[in-house]
Amino acid sequence: MGTVLRDVRTIEHHDLPVDIRIDGNVIASISPSPVTPNNDDDLIDGRGKLAVPGLVNAHGHAPMTLLRGIADDVPLKTWLEEAIWPAEAKLSADDVYWGTLLAQMEMVRSGTTQFVDMYFHVDAIARAVTEGGLRAMLSYGMIADRLDRKGQEELRRTEQLVRDWNGEADGRIRVAVAPHAIYTCGTEIWRKAVDLATRYNVPIHTHVCETTKEVDDWRSRHGCTPIAEMERLGVFSVPTVAAHCVHVDGEDIGYLADNHVTVAHCPASNAKLGSGIAPLGQFFRNNVSVAIGTDGAASNNNLDMLRELRLAILLQKASRQDPTAMNAEMAFSLATTNGAAACGTNAGVLEPGALADLVLLDLERCPTMPVHRPLSAVVYASDPASVTDVFIDGRSVLRNGEFLTLDEEEIRAHARTIGSRLIG
Amino acid sequence: MGTVLRDVRTIEHHDLPVDIRIDGNVIASISPSPVTPNNDDDLIDGRGKLAVPGLVNAHGHAPMTLLRGIADDVPLKTWLEEAIWPAEAKLSADDVYWGTLLAQMEMVRSGTTQFVDMYFHVDAIARAVTEGGLRAMLSYGMIADRLDRKGQEELRRTEQLVRDWNGEADGRIRVAVAPHAIYTCGTEIWRKAVDLATRYNVPIHTHVCETTKEVDDWRSRHGCTPIAEMERLGVFSVPTVAAHCVHVDGEDIGYLADNHVTVAHCPASNAKLGSGIAPLGQFFRNNVSVAIGTDGAASNNNLDMLRELRLAILLQKASRQDPTAMNAEMAFSLATTNGAAACGTNAGVLEPGALADLVLLDLERCPTMPVHRPLSAVVYASDPASVTDVFIDGRSVLRNGEFLTLDEEEIRAHARTIGSRLIG
């Protein structure tokens, strides 16, 4: 049984509707003439809808939906030490499971089909992803100074996670190795992490150069930037998702460009925590690959990639006083093609053979209409209510605004209960 | 017949639900104990909802919804000369009427109850507002170098507009006098505009200090800033809504602070057109009154004040690398209290005696839940789907997500037709 999306428009074919045929988990064909559906095919009326590749959220911490708004408008240190860490200490594996289901609801309704994550209780996250239906690259955020018992245990957990979950859920789940940051993991941990990633052929996922303080502290103690240190440690011999990269110099940019690194740019989180605005213009000029992420809901405060896309553009244009600093096409490719490439998945495009991760939007409604250019409508004007249908890995997870794989009422009930306990 | 919102929460009363009673067009009472409704009262179940004052969009051009996305990512001059002006030349009064209805749909669904506008064919806008149900301060954007026939005609139109519409639609419509900008209206026009505003006791609404080019050009030709020139012309003897104010100096800020001026800050438009980021921190430190506006949908590209609020905060925090630069409470008061004050309306607050312009939000859904702090949920995480009910002037205009005063299908059909013609 396949699926036929009949009479749908795409960004490339916005004047004449096409039929998109999904077979199994891939896009089988996109053709202007009507496709004859098989008897057991699911036939979807795509009239008035625009099909786009699903968005890829390139960096986040899904269960932090439970900590949304627990503290705002305070310095990073206060935010972490007085709000986030005490609340995280209360999170059970079961909480993390429900928080990840809540995150998937939020991501699906705003058009996200794949996400990159780093957290703890990752088995629970993987179970939630198996059920919820998204595609994800999961990781356990290791924090350890040395290769002592704690350090060994962090590495053991990561290896176990790779063994247990990499390639599971019909291939929807991938696992990355995640030393949390250069300043929270010692040299030996980083070297072992690189070995592990190499041995299992999985990427590295980390945070780097998020704040000026991080970079200044590292430089004053070690005489180089965090990114130069990562280069020295051989990290970039492995494909790497480097979240943030707000404060980088010319040499750093060279390292990012010359290796298989994707910067996971998190504009809202970097803005809200006062970290700054990443130099996307320099990244683009130097061919650094950039994707876009929401970061966790505790610093965002949601997981809406449509907002994130638009914000990424507006921050560049405003801070550089240049309306041509970034355009809708660039931003959209960051959030689709580049995000998927960072995960090593053949998604982020609508073409035959690509994974069937796609989203239908109804742009003929008041926040987006009239539609002069579909991509402009998606990037600058749409909101989650524009998203009507979502397919991931060929499977329908949202249809006419209704979740098919996620039990909205049950998830809400659990989120409410856990939320009350966290601030109690 | 009145309305009782039963068991609703407010930002001040978020632990214990209250009953809000609306009589006529004002809030009659807000009380913890159950209010006994009259027989003919409309009783609304507010359980699980948060009531907030309606948002005030302090600067815009409502009919430009029809030009949404007609050109993006280009310099201001190209945007105006090659896209906006040619398209505006095709707009009839009827188009403007439908564009204003479309704008009201978009504003209502995102929680806006009042807006400040400047455009042409303003009779058509006023008719659309009369029917659509919003509260608005309308104005005709005058452009004239001298007090010649053209200049006289611009002033005559404005005076006629004040006579015809100020105080109409049960007082929902107010009219302002709007010289478009210091560089598009000559000295004599400005002086006559101030006379007119004084005579009819209505505010001035204008654009000022939007781009560095505007300020630099003015300074090189006249030896002072546009705001200093406005002060010299006596503009600030009248309450003034000054849109943009992105590029201002210390002296300008003094003039803004010392007079009854509200800066209508338009963060998305200023960002998207590369104009820059207004110095809100300096405004706050110097007690300049600031409100928030979306500007027109052609430079935004929508009219969602929830987005605008959040963007205003994020731009300040990011550009100043300071998470405490602006907080949710400040932003929310800008978008409610300050906006209403700029319009001279007793709205923007939930208290007995205030105009019944209020919004119900369902925050127990996935983009906002769990709710640790209701105001944080509204400002940082809500989206239009969170808005369930809107009351303006005591009248229900949105109920359970359904428009009561706006015919969605009819407006969509007209917007589609007009949109096609504009790019044809």
List pLDDT tens digits, range B318-356: 999 999 999 999 999 999 999 999 999 999 999 999 999
- Asked whether A375 and A327 are in contact (CB, 8 A), the reply is no
How confident is the model over B99-119, as a mean pLDDT?
Answer: 98
Using the beta-carbon criterion (under 8 Å), do B370 and A304 form an inter-chain contact?
A: no
Q: Output the six-digit token pair for B422.
A: 């504009």
Question: Considering chain A, what percentage of its residues have pLDDT values greater than 70?
Answer: 100
* The predicted structure's pLDDT at residue A137: 98
Q: Which residues of B touch A297 (CB under 8 A)?
A: 381
Nearest to B377 among A69, A276, A307 (CB): A69
Count residue pairs from A and B with Cβ separation < 8 A. 234
Q: Does B212 contact chain A (CB < 8 Å)?
A: yes
Residues of B (401-420) whose Cβ lies below 8 Å from A: 408, 411-412, 415-416, 418-420
Distance between B382 CA and the closest CA of chain A, angstroms:
8
Q: Which pTM value belongs to this model?
A: 0.97
Residue B420 has pLDDT above 80, yes or no: yes
Nearest to A367 among B304, B419, B422 (CB): B304
Top-confidence residue, B423 or B361: B361
The CA distances from residue B309 to A224, B11, B195, B217, B306, in Å, are: 39, 17, 34, 31, 5
Residue B204 has pLDDT above 70, yes or no: yes
- Asked whether B146 and B186 are in contact (CB, 8 A), the reply is yes
Q: Does A143 contact chain B (CB < 8 Å)?
A: no
Residues of A (7-46) whose Cβ lies below 8 Å from B: none
Span A97-121, pLDDT tens digits: 999 999 999 999 999 999 999 999 9
Q: What are the strands of the beta sheet with B204-208, ordered from one edge?
A: B55-60, B112-117, B135-142, B173-179, B204-208, B240-244, B261-265, B289-292
DSSP state of A81: I
Span B284-293, pLDDT tens digits: 999 999 999 9
Residue B36 has pLDDT above 90, yes or no: no
Q: What are the strands of the beta sheet with A55-60, ordered from one edge?
A: A55-60, A112-117, A135-142, A173-179, A204-208, A240-244, A261-265, A289-292
Nearest to A314 among B110, B271, B317 (CB): B271
For the domain spanning B3-53+353-403, the CATH number is 2.30.40.10
Q: Which residues of A touch B424 (CB under 8 A)?
A: none
* The predicted structure's pLDDT at residue A142: 98
Residue with tokens 């809100």: B280
Q: Which residues of A touch B418 (CB under 8 A)?
A: 370
**Mutation target vs A (from B372, B383, B407; most A CBs, 10 A cutoff):** B372
Q: Does B73 contact chain A (CB < 8 Å)?
A: yes
Mean pLDDT (chain B) is 96
Q: Output the six-digit token pair for A1.
A: 């049984």
* The predicted structure's pLDDT at residue B366: 86
Residue B119 has pLDDT above 70, yes or no: yes
Q: Which residues of A touch B372 (CB under 8 A)?
A: 67-70, 419, 422-423
- Asked whether B54 and B112 are in contact (CB, 8 A), the reply is yes
Q: Output the six-digit token pair for A253.
A: 């940019």
- The H or E element spanning position B226 is helix B226-232
The half-sphere exposure of A188 on its side-chain side, counting CA atoms within 13 A, is: 11
CB atoms within 10 A of CB A192: 23
Q: Which residues of B touch A325 (CB under 8 A)?
A: 274
How confident is the model over A319-327, as a mean pLDDT?
Answer: 97
Q: Does B159 contact chain A (CB < 8 Å)?
A: no
Using the beta-carbon criterion (under 8 Å), do B317 and A79 form an inter-chain contact?
A: no
Query: Options 2.30.40.10, 3.30.70.260, 2.40.50.140, 2.60.120.10; which CATH number does A3-53+348-403 get?
Result: 2.30.40.10
pLDDT band at A224 (very low <50, low <70, confident <90, very high): very high
pLDDT band at B210 (very low <50, low <70, confident <90, very high): very high
Using the beta-carbon criterion (under 8 Å), do A274 and B109 form an inter-chain contact?
A: no
For residue B244, give the nearest of B259, B263, B218, B272 by alpha carbon: B263
Q: What stretch(es) of chain A map to CATH 2.30.40.10? A: 3-53+348-403
Q: Does A325 contact chain B (CB < 8 Å)?
A: yes
Using the beta-carbon criterion (under 8 Å), do A370 and B420 form an inter-chain contact?
A: yes
- Asked whether B376 and A74 are in contact (CB, 8 A), the reply is no
Nearest to A381 among B69, B76, B369 (CB): B69
DSSP state of A23: E
How confident is the model over B289-316, as a mean pLDDT?
Answer: 97
Distance between A364 CA and the closest CA of chain B, angstroms:
7
Residue A18 has pLDDT above 80, yes or no: yes
Top-confidence residue, B40 or B153: B153
Nearest to B380 among A69, A321, A373 (CB): A69
The residue ranges of DSSP E strands in B257-415, in sequence order, are 261-265, 289-292, 358-362, 387-392, 395-399, 402-403
Distance between B392 CA and the closest CA of chain A, angstroms:
20
* The predicted structure's pLDDT at residue A297: 97
Residue A424 has pLDDT above 80, yes or no: no
Distance between B89 CA and the closest CA of chain A, angstroms:
17
**Which residues lie below 8 Å from residue B207, measured CB to CB, with a gap of 6+?**
B118, B180, B181, B242, B243, B244
Span B13-23, pLDDT tens digits: 888 999 999 99
**Which residues lie below 8 Å from residue A287, measured CB to CB, with a gap of 6+?**
A257
- How many angstroms separate the CA atoms of B34 and B30, rounded? 10
Q: Output the six-digit token pair for B219.
A: 């300074």
Residue A267 has pLDDT above 90, yes or no: yes
For residue A423, give the nearest of A62, A92, A68 by alpha carbon: A68
- How many angstroms separate the CA atoms of B407 and B415, rounded? 12
Residue B1 has pLDDT above 80, yes or no: no
* The predicted structure's pLDDT at residue A231: 97
- How many angstroms separate the CA atoms of B340 and B334, rounded? 9
Nearest to A323 among B73, B326, B416 (CB): B73
Residue with tokens 């209780």: A121
Using the beta-carbon criterion (under 8 Å), do A69 and B408 form an inter-chain contact?
A: no
CB atoms within 10 A of CB B12: 12
Q: Output the six-digit token pair for B7.
A: 């068991």
- How many angstroms separate the CA atoms of B57 and B336, rounded? 9
How confident is the model over A330-344, as a mean pLDDT?
Answer: 98
Distance between B346 CA and the closest CA of chain A, angstroms:
29
Q: Output the six-digit token pair for A235.
A: 């990290």
Q: Does A5 contact chain B (CB < 8 Å)?
A: no
- Asked whether A115 and A62 are in contact (CB, 8 A), the reply is yes
Using the beta-carbon criterion (under 8 Å), do A272 and B314 form an inter-chain contact?
A: yes
Mode of pairing for the β-strands spanning A358-362 and A289-292:
unpaired
Q: Does B315 contact chain A (CB < 8 Å)?
A: yes
Q: Output the six-digit token pair for A342.
A: 């960072």
Q: What stretch(es) of chain A map to CATH 3.20.20.140? A: 55-343
Using the beta-carbon criterion (under 8 Å), do A314 and B268 form an inter-chain contact?
A: yes
**Which amino acid appears at position A337 of this protein?**
T
Span A21-72, pLDDT tens digits: 999 999 999 998 788 888 888 999 999 999 999 999 999 999 999 999 999 9
DSSP bridge partners of A262: A241, A289
Query: Options 3.30.470.30, 3.10.310.40, 3.20.20.140, 2.40.30.270; which CATH number does A55-343 get?
Result: 3.20.20.140
Q: Which residues of B touch A419 (CB under 8 A)?
A: 369-372
Among A7-16, A296-305, B404-413, whose mean pLDDT is lowest?
A: A7-16
pLDDT band at B424 (very low <50, low <70, confident <90, very high): low
Residue B164 has pLDDT above 90, yes or no: yes
* Chain A residue with Cα closest to B327: A73
- Asked whether B138 and B167 are in contact (CB, 8 A), the reply is no
Using the beta-carbon criterion (under 8 Å), do B423 and A372 form an inter-chain contact?
A: yes
Using the beta-carbon criterion (under 8 Å), do A300 and B377 form an inter-chain contact?
A: no
- How many angstroms separate the CA atoms of A86 and A347, rounded? 38
* Chain A residue with Cα closest to B313: A272
Residues of B (108-137) whose Cβ lies below 8 Å from A: 109-110
Preceding peptide of A370 cis, ω within 30°: yes
* Chain A residue with Cα closest to B271: A318
How confident is the model over A281-300, as a mean pLDDT?
Answer: 98
* The predicted structure's pLDDT at residue A64: 98
Burial B193-225, CB ≥16 within 10 A → b, else e: bbebbeeeebbbbbbbbbbeebbeebeeeeeeb
Top-confidence residue, A37 or B315: B315
- How many angstroms separate the CA atoms of A380 and A364, rounded? 15
Q: What stretch(es) of chain B map to CATH 2.30.40.10? A: 3-53+353-403
Using the beta-carbon criterion (under 8 Å), do A271 and B315 form an inter-chain contact?
A: yes
Mode of pairing for the β-strands spanning B358-362 and B387-392:
antiparallel
Using the beta-carbon criterion (under 8 Å), do B315 and A317 form an inter-chain contact?
A: no
* The predicted structure's pLDDT at residue B69: 95
